[in-house]
Amino acid sequence: MSERLRVEFHCHTIYSKDSLTRPEQLVQACRQKGIQRVVVTDHNTISGGLRAQQIDPERVIVGEEIMTRQGELLAFFVQEEIPEDLDCMDAIRLLREQQAFISVSHPFDTLRGGHWELEDLLKIAPLVDAIEVFNARCYRASFNRQAQDFASQHDLAGTVGSDAHALYELGKATLRLPAFEDAEGLKAALKEARADLKLLPVCTHLSSRYAVLRKKLGGLDEYRSAP
C-alpha cells in the first residue's frame, strides 16, 4: 500500500481578517505536527496561500474560501483569485476554468455566516466536487451530520478541515489519503481517505474575534501588508 499523506484542507492566515497566523508560522506548525499537505484557504484571497507556498512548495496548496451571495465555497488548487460577492454560479464557473477542486464550507452551520439555504445547495450539488462533511469549528455536531448526510445522498465526496484561525487549532480535522498532485488526483485519492477528527469547543471562536479586534485597534491593515 502506498504511503498516505496527512492533509489539512481548511485553514487561515493573517491575510484573513479574523486570523493572526503568519504564513511562515503556519508552515512551521505543519512541519511540527506532521501535516504533509496543507491547503491555505483565506477568506476571498489567495495571498496567504501564495506566500506559504513560496516557503514550502511541496507542502502547501493554494486555496481560497469564497463568500458568494448564496454561501461560502472552499476551493483548492486556485490559480487566480476569485472575488467575493459573486453569484455562486459565476464563482463556480471561474473556478472550473482554472481546474480548481470545489468543496462547500460548513453548509449547514446556520450559526455562522456563509451557510447555505437548501434550495441553493441543491442547485450547485451537481457542479461541485465535494461537501465539507466535518468542520472542527461547527458549533453543533448536528451541523456536520447534516453535511455528511447530504454528501451521501448526492454521491459527493467529503472533505474535512480544522478551519484553523490560530495555530493550536491546526490539524484537528485531517484526512489521510494517497498522494495527489492536482484536482483530478485529489478526486481519486478521496475515495481512499481516512479521517482524524476532533470537534473544537465553542470558545475557539474567541481567537477570531480577538484577531478582528486587534487589527481594528491597531489601525493597521495587517493581513494585506503582511510580507
What tens digit of pLDDT does each residue of 125-160 get? 999 999 999 999 998 999 999 999 999 999 999 999
- Determine what percent of the chain is predicted with pLDDT higher than 90: 84
pLDDT level of residue 221 (50, 70, 90 thresholds) = low
Quote the pLDDT of residue 139: 86
Amino acid making up residue 73: L
- Please tell me which residue, 223 or 36, carries the higher pLDDT value: 36
Q: Percentage of the chain with pLDDT > 70?
A: 95
Check pLDDT > 50 for residue 223: no
pLDDT in tens, 27-75: 999 999 999 999 999 999 999 999 999 999 999 999 999 999 999 999 9
- What's the topology of domain 4-225? TIM Barrel (3.20.20)
Mean per-residue pLDDT, 15-21: 95
For residue 184, give the C-alpha cell: 483530478
The three three-digit cell numbers of residue 112, written as one number: 455562522
**Mean pLDDT confidence for 4-30:** 97
Mean pLDDT of 166-187: 97
Determine the pLDDT at residue 219: 53
The CA distance from 100 to 105, in Å, is 15
pTM given for the model: 0.92
The answer to whether residues 71 and 83 touch, using CB atoms and an 8 Å cutoff, is no
**What is the mean predicted confidence (pLDDT) over 108-124?**
95
Does residue 226 have a pLDDT over 60? no
Close Cβ partners of 138 (under 8 Å, ≥ 6 residues apart): 106, 109, 144, 199
Helix axis angle for 47-55 and 23-33, nearest 10°, is 60
Q: Which amino acid is located at 37 in the chain?
A: R
Residue with cell 451530520: 145
Picking from 155, 128, 140, the residue whose alpha carbon sits closest to that of residue 199 is: 140
**Cell numbers 483548492 label which residue?**
76
